[in-house]
């Protein structure tokens, strides 16, 4: 490797690391991260597996790794997210190694640079979740696949280590995310299309894939348990995300639709690859590429500020600076975009246009990163708790709507002192809304001079409890935080109205 390229790569890796470390503890944990930290924080691996099987839709590989990581570094936001920072930064290096072998060092350096400055890569590298680890493992498997293919005549010697690396990286990917099956399918599809050019190589790889499927059998009990637990009440959760009822009724099957779409798109592109290569890769179509680049950049920036609804369907329900449930599991495909951009820009006939294209993409990512770094993207649990603690003389009483595991965990995590908690509404494994017995609630409130009401992302109840408590208590504080509203109440003169329980309305009877 030339010294100039090596120096450039070091700068790119330092840039990637710096962008991923910047503001790492700026925001509180959000709900999904609460599950990660709680599950990984169990005393034993068997307990980690138990909780993952009850609440998650992925295997427990990431949580076990985080379990041991937290034993070394603790459970602070910086400590737990740092694991993702490591994998996000190393992924940039792996992408460089892949592209260098497929094209050349210049394309590799530019592609890895785009990955380093990508706002989405930074976002998922700053979350204590599974997605960036899965991306790293997929890239690692691609690297070993390329090494095997380029040296397919070599079976022994160093070749065996490439086969072993490919096998191990995909096994780990399977035990981190069930989407690993989709990755194996993509590799198999690629082998099928090129089976005549490398018959012996394809056969060896298919045999290897057979062993991978055998390894997947060990995940079936957990997969079936998770499907049975999560699928039943998922329709309610998808409807709450404003998804049309006909799609929400699919339950977990809904999450497979993006993968089906990309499989069909991949097959279509491959079947018409010569035409696609002519339109998108040849020099005579430079203006078409630059036009598409402009549209891509504008669309990307738009999605950083606004959601995307098409015919009422929330293709992107929130700005992409927030982690979105349909993007996350397909995120490992993003490096394809960086490689294409790096390759195509260096094909431009004019160096001036090359420079303009690179500067344009840098500006797009600078704006996107600026929006991400300066926007609140996660519920402000830390700030809510700080507000409660700063304004409470003794042990505060907190009424929580909506309760449930993650919100309770986050309240407990950020409280430095003891507090009393009453759940007004909650949903657990069945995802069906449950409510507090209001007669017991009134009994509890009568014994207190003041209390706090926390409202968090409950479309079923809305402001029902706030209006109900306004009737019988004096509200002397209101605070709006990202995805959380906080109220403080004190007892009205003469105590509660005697008919409070009779006049209160159940949420089940309201719209």
Mean pLDDT score, 501-511: 39
Average of per-residue pLDDT across 425-436: 74
The number of residues making up the chain comes to 511
Mean pLDDT of 394-423: 90
The confidence band for 104, taking pLDDT boundaries of 50, 70 and 90, is very high
Average pLDDT over residues 502-507: 41
CATH topology for the 381-509 domain: Rossmann fold (3.40.50)
Cβ neighbors of 22 (< 8 A, separation 6 or more) are: 373
Is the Cβ–Cβ distance between 216 and 174 less than 8 Å? yes
Tell me the torsion sign for CA atoms 111, 298, 21, 355. Answer: positive
Does residue 499 or residue 181 have the better pLDDT? 181
Nearest one of 237, 172, 179, 229 to 50, comparing CA atoms: 229
Task: Average the pLDDT over each of 258-262, 291-295, 360-364 and give the range with the smallest value.
Answer: 258-262
pLDDT of residue 440: 87
**Pairing relationship of beta strands 397-401 and 450-455 according to DSSP bridges:** parallel
| Mean pLDDT, residues 237-247 taken together | 65
Mean confidence (pLDDT) of the chain: 86
ω into residue 347 within 30 of 0, thus cis?
A: no
What is the residue extent of each domain of the chain?
1-25+93-127+285-378, 381-509
Give residue-wise pLDDT tens across range 294-308. Answer: 999 999 999 899 887
For 140-149, the pLDDT digits (tens) are 999 999 999 8
Q: Is residue 213 predicted with pLDDT exceeding 70?
A: yes
pTM check: above 0.85: yes
Question: DSSP alpha helices (H): ranges in 241-394?
Answer: 245-248, 257-271, 273-281, 286-305, 325-328, 335-345, 351-374, 381-390
68 pLDDT above the threshold of 80: yes
* Among the ranges given (103-117, 262-276, 379-393), the one the predictor scored with the smallest mean pLDDT: 262-276
């Amino acid at each position: 490797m030339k010294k100039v390229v090596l120096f450039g790569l070091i700068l790119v890796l330092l840039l990637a690391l710096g962008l991923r470390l910047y503001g790492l503890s700026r925001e509180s944990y959000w709900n999904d991260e609460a599950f990660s930290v709680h599950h990984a924080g169990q005393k034993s691996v068997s307990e980690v597996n138990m909780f993952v099987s009850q609440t998650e839709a992925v295997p427990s590989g990431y949580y076990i790794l985080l379990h041991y990581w937290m034993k070394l570094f603790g459970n602070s936001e910086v400590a737990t997210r740092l694991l993702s920072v490591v994998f996000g930064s190393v992924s940039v290096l792996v992408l460089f190694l892949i592209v260098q072998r497929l094209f050349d060092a210049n394309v590799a350096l530019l592609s890895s640079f785009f990955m380093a400055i990508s706002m989405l890569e930074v976002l998922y590298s700053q979350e204590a979740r599974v997605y960036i680890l899965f991306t790293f493992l997929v890239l690692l498997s691609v690297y070993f696949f390329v090494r095997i293919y380029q040296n397919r005549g070599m079976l022994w010697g160093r070749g065996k280590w490439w086969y072993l690396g490919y096998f191990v990286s995909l096994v780990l990917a399977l035990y981190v995310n069930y989407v690993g099956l989709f990755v194996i399918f993509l590799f198999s599809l690629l082998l099928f299309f090129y089976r005549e050019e490398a018959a012996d190589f394809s056969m060896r790889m298919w045999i290897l894939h057979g062993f991978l499927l055998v390894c997947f059998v060990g995940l079936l009990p957990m997969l079936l348990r998770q499907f049975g637990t999560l699928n039943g009440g998922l329709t309610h959760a998808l409807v709450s995300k404003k998804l049309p009822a006909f799609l929400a009724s699919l339950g977990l099957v809904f999450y497979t639709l993006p993968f089906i779409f990309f499989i069909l798109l991949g097959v279509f592109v491959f079947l018409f690859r010569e035409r696609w290569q002519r339109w998108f890769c040849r020099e005579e179509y430079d203006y078409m590429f630059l036009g598409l680049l402009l549209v891509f950049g504008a669309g990307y920036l738009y999605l950083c500020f606004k959601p995307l609804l098409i015919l009422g369907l929330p293709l992107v329900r929130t700005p992409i600076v927030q982690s979105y449930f349909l993007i996350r599991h397909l995120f490992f495909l993003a490096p394809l975009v960086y490689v294409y951009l790096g390759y195509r820009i260096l094909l431009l006939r004019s160096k001036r246009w090359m420079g303009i294209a690179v500067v344009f993409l840098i500006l797009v990512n600078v704006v996107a990163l600026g929006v991400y770094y300066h926007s609140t993207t996660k519920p402000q649990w830390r700030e809510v708790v700080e507000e409660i603690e700063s304004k409470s003389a003794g042990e505060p009483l907190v009424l929580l709507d909506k309760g449930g595991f993650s919100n309770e965990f986050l309240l407990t995590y950020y409280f430095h002192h003891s507090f009393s908690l009453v759940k007004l509404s909650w949903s657990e494994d069945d995802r069906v809304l449950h409510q507090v017995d209001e007669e017991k609630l009134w009994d509890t409130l009568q014994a207190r001079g003041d209390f706090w009401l926390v409202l968090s992302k409950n479309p079923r109840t809305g402001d029902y409890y706030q209006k109900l408590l306004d009737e019988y208590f004096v509200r002397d504080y209101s605070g709006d935080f990202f995805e959380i509203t906080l109220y403080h109440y004190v007892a009205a003169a003469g105590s509660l109205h005697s008919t409070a329980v009779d006049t209160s309305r159940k949420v089940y009877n309201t719209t």
